[in-house]
Amino acid sequence: MGPEQADAIRPDISPGREPGTKTELGIQDLTRFTVLRWLGTVGSLMLAFGALGAGALPVVDNPYQYYPGGSLMFRMLQTSSMVVLVGVGLLVVAWVLMAPYVGASLRPGTRERGVVSASLLRRTFIGWALPILFTAPLFTQDIYSYLANGSIVAQGMDPYSAGPVELLGTENHLARSVPFIWSQSASPYGPVALALAALISLLTNDSILLGVLAHRLLSLAGVLVAGWAVVMLAKRCRVNPSAALWLGILNPLTVLHLIGGIHNESVMLGFALLGLEIGLRGIDHLDAGVRNRGIAFIMLSGALISCAGMVKVTGFLSLGFVGMALARHLHCRGLPRWASISLAVAGQVAVLVLTVGLVTLVSGIGLGWVTGQGGAATIRSWMSVTTDAGVIAGWLGMLLGMGDHTAAILVITRAAGVLVATAFIIRMLFATFSGTIHPVGGLGVSTFALVILFPVVHPWYMLWAIVPLAAWANRIFFRAFVAIYSAAFSFFVLPRGLALPPDTVIAIYVGSAVSFVIIAGLGWWLLRGRDLLVLD
């Protein structure tokens, strides 16, 4: 995909209406939207209740069994899992059916009813997230790795020297709950993520319950910051802010995995998108002749984006696109092409080095994150195209009697994928410099390519691309793709985040589907005749 193909998903500005303007919702439409808000909230409440038995519970000292009903749900794994998945279904349905009311039509010719305000969508997101804040972790056990590594840093040990079990001991309550793949693996997280985890460890005295709650609040803060940045970037790109918030922030993957699963992507996206908006504001100031303020904004932007990269390295990408936007500004002011690029790159690198040095000094965390991969390199993710290619090639080799060379082939296919993604990112950077693509679009499209070719992919990784693209791309087919992907992959991970016996998995999904159909049918029966189910 080049700038020409990327243009196919860029903003489509309809004549006669400015993006971001608001039309009044009729009483009937507002009532329908309110019904959808409550439908999503009921789904979140079911998630919260079901997670007490089906969530990623700690191995020892499980505090969630003392919640009202928690002990009962703990003994009913299969039923609890069905409750969670039915809740996911209600949340997904509510989100998809909101599309016409936020100016994000998913079908050609769909009548736009009106655009709800961004503030109403923020309140909707908080309403969906609040029930999940106080329940057990969902869809992953990674949070226990965060808690253990935070304790390691708080105790003055090097998280990049060994795994939690080796550093904290086999009897430590935090180390015993760490997933097997991370238990004896050095931390794969950057120093900003670890410093925040260490602060939480100190504040909560290594309490599992309080630690999970604190990390959830941190994730919520990161998503809210990202949401503010998405609105600002959408206005900058002449895209409807309400539609951008709906697509990126209210997205079920955001609610389920960044809040429910408490992944570091929430903090990374908050830093990266805030830094991107501030950096573009700095360039606006330079364009307006306010030189000192413009330079200050660009330096602050570089520091924020550097912090994003020190959560997860993919956060560093935003540095390049702010840098190329700056280089374009310098080139338009008369500097030669390569001189403007070199000056912008030198400035961004200088801010990066200073920020890394300051974070290292303040946190006391070394530079092991630069080369450390931990257990991530051993994961064979079926969602990764390059991993699938390597595994299939290895399987074919075994069929032909050539032996099992899958590991070696994976090194080649994964490296090739990273090289192709890097080449594509470089192309998007130069397209940004030439003005062919907006920096926000360049970042989103580049991240999309990176996720597709990344060695390890999880369902929520696509949020790296979806959230920034939500502020730039509003073509119907793009929104439809995101809606289909997000809806489908909301069900692909079991609530506990662990594999279960096949017969149990089948029973959970079949039971969930039957229960959902019954609940949906009952809801239709109760609402029929009240003119609340008309969608065209």
Q: Model confidence over 472-485: pLDDT tens digits?
A: 988 888 889 999 99
* List of residues 6+ apart from 107 with CB closer than 8 A: 476, 480
Q: Using DSSP, state whether 102 is helix, strand or coil.
A: strand
Look up residue 291 and give its two tokens. Answer: 């030189």
* List of residues 6+ apart from 229 with CB closer than 8 A: 270, 273, 274, 276, 277, 471
Mean pLDDT score of the chain: 84
pLDDT band at residue 179 under the 50/70/90 scheme = confident
Looking at per-residue pLDDT, the higher value among 404 and 201 belongs to 201
User: Is there a single domain that holds both residue 357 and residue 400?
Assistant: no
Phi-psi group of 409: left, alpha or beta (phi > 0 → left; psi -120 to 50 → alpha; rest → beta): alpha
Whole-angstrom Cα distance, residue 255 to residue 237?
Answer: 25
How many Å is the maximal CA-CA distance in the chain? 71
From 455, 481, 506, the end of a domain falls on 455
Average pLDDT over residues 49-64: 80
Rounded to the nearest 5°, which phi and psi values hold at 205? 55, 40
pLDDT at position 281: 95
Residue 155 identity (one-letter amino acid): Q
Residues 193/196/198/199 CA torsion (nearest 10 deg) = 180
User: Is there a single domain that holds both residue 355 and residue 391?
Assistant: no
Whether 106 is in a domain gets the answer no
DSSP 8-state assignment for residue 409: H
Whole-angstrom Cα distance, residue 480 to residue 488?
Answer: 12
pLDDT band at residue 5 under the 50/70/90 scheme = very low
Contact between 37 and 93 (Cβ < 8 Å): no
User: Is there a single domain that holds both residue 291 and residue 357?
Assistant: yes
User: Is there a single domain that holds both residue 406 and residue 323?
Assistant: no
pLDDT band at residue 393 under the 50/70/90 scheme = confident
Contact between 38 and 482 (Cβ < 8 Å): no
pLDDT at position 72: 56
Whether 13 is in a domain gets the answer no
- Closest Cα to residue 496, out of 16, 76, 35, 6? 76
Whole-angstrom Cα distance, residue 316 to residue 373?
Answer: 17
pLDDT at position 78: 77
325-359 pLDDT, tens digit each: 999 999 988 889 999 999 999 999 999 999 999 99
pLDDT at position 12: 45
From 405, 437, 455, the end of a domain falls on 455
User: Is there a single domain that holds both residue 326 and residue 360?
Assistant: yes
Whole-angstrom Cα distance, residue 465 to residue 461?
Answer: 8
Whether 182 is in a domain gets the answer yes
* Residue 443 CA, distance from chain mean position: 15
* DSSP per-residue letters across 247-272: HHTS-HHIIIIIIIS--THHHHHHHH
* List of residues 6+ apart from 269 with CB closer than 8 A: 222, 223, 226, 258, 308, 463, 464, 467
109 pLDDT above the threshold of 60? no
Whether 56 is in a domain gets the answer no
Domain that holds residue 181: 143-212
Give the lowest-confidence range in 62-66, 125-129, 154-158: 62-66
Count of the separate structural domains present in the chain: 3
User: Is there a single domain that holds both residue 309 and residue 355?
Assistant: yes
User: Is there a single domain that holds both residue 408 and residue 357?
Assistant: no
- Closest Cα to residue 315, out of 400, 497, 189, 228? 189
Whether 336 is in a domain gets the answer yes
User: Is there a single domain that holds both residue 352 and residue 390?
Assistant: no
Whole-angstrom Cα distance, residue 469 to residue 343?
Answer: 28
* Residue 74 CA, distance from chain mean position: 29
Whole-angstrom Cα distance, residue 187 to residue 376?
Answer: 10
148 pLDDT above the threshold of 70? yes
First CA to last CA distance, the chain: 34
pLDDT at position 182: 79
70 pLDDT above the threshold of 60? no
pLDDT at position 397: 78
Question: If you search the block for the tokens 């000192």, which residue do you land on?
Answer: 292
Instruction: Please report which helix (H) or strand (E) contains residue 483, including its range.
Output: helix 476-489
25 pLDDT above the threshold of 60? no
164-175 pLDDT, tens digit each: 888 888 888 888
Whole-angstrom Cα distance, residue 345 to residue 349?
Answer: 6
Looking at the DSSP bridge assignments, the partners of residue 102 are 115
129 pLDDT above the threshold of 80? yes
441-471 pLDDT, tens digit each: 999 999 999 998 888 888 889 999 999 999 9
pLDDT at position 9: 47
Looking at the DSSP bridge assignments, the partners of residue 115 are 102
Whole-angstrom Cα distance, residue 294 to residue 322?
Answer: 13
Q: Using DSSP, state whether 354 is helix, strand or coil.
A: helix
Whether 231 is in a domain gets the answer no
Contact between 54 and 505 (Cβ < 8 Å): no
User: Is there a single domain that holds both residue 417 and residue 330?
Assistant: no
Give the lowest-confidence range in 308-322, 351-365, 375-389: 375-389
pLDDT at position 527: 67
Identity of the highest mean pLDDT range in 2-11, 110-119, 476-485: 476-485
User: Is there a single domain that holds both residue 201 and residue 159?
Assistant: yes
pLDDT at position 28: 65
- The share of the chain scoring above pLDDT 70, in percent, equals 86
Whole-angstrom Cα distance, residue 21 to residue 235?
Answer: 10
* List of residues 6+ apart from 40 with CB closer than 8 A: 90, 91, 94, 95, 124, 127, 128
User: Is there a single domain that holds both residue 186 and residue 271?
Assistant: no
Whole-angstrom Cα distance, residue 219 to residue 261?
Answer: 9
User: Is there a single domain that holds both residue 386 and residue 359?
Assistant: no
From 319, 340, 364, the end of a domain falls on 364
Whole-angstrom Cα distance, residue 5 to residue 363?
Answer: 43
DSSP 8-state assignment for residue 437: S
pLDDT at position 395: 75
Whether 124 is in a domain gets the answer no
- The share of the chain scoring above pLDDT 90, in percent, equals 49
Look up residue 481 and give its two tokens. Answer: 């793709």
Whether 432 is in a domain gets the answer yes
269 pLDDT above the threshold of 80? yes
pLDDT at position 18: 42
